Amino acid sequence: MDANHFGLQYRHNFLFIISNDDMALAIFDLDNTLLGGDSDYLWGEYLVENKLVDSADYQRTNQGFYDQYLAGTMDIFEFSAFQFKPLADNAMTTLMQWRADYLTQKIDPIILPAARTLIAKHTQQNDTLLIITATNSFITTPIAEKLAIPNLIATEPEIVNGHFSGKVAGTPSYQQGKVTRLQHWLSQTGHALEDSYFYSDSHNDLPLLELVSHPIAVDPDPQLQATAQQRSWPIISLR
Q: What is the DSSP string of 172-227?
A: -SSTHHHHHHHHHHHHHH----TT-EEEES-GGGHHHHTTSSEEEEES--HHHHHH
Catalytic residue among 29, 38, 195, 219: 29
Rounded to whole angstroms, the Cα distance separating 13 from 213 reads: 24
Catalytic residue among 21, 22, 31, 201: 31
Rounded to whole angstroms, the Cα distance separating 31 from 28 reads: 9
Give the closest residue to 127 by CA, choosing from 27, 230, 229, 40: 27
Give the closest residue to 238 by CA, choosing from 221, 224, 217: 217
Catalytic-residue membership of 127: no
Catalytic-residue membership of 31: yes
Give the closest residue to 99 by CA, choosing from 87, 81, 114, 117: 87
Q: Which residues are catalytic?
A: 29, 31
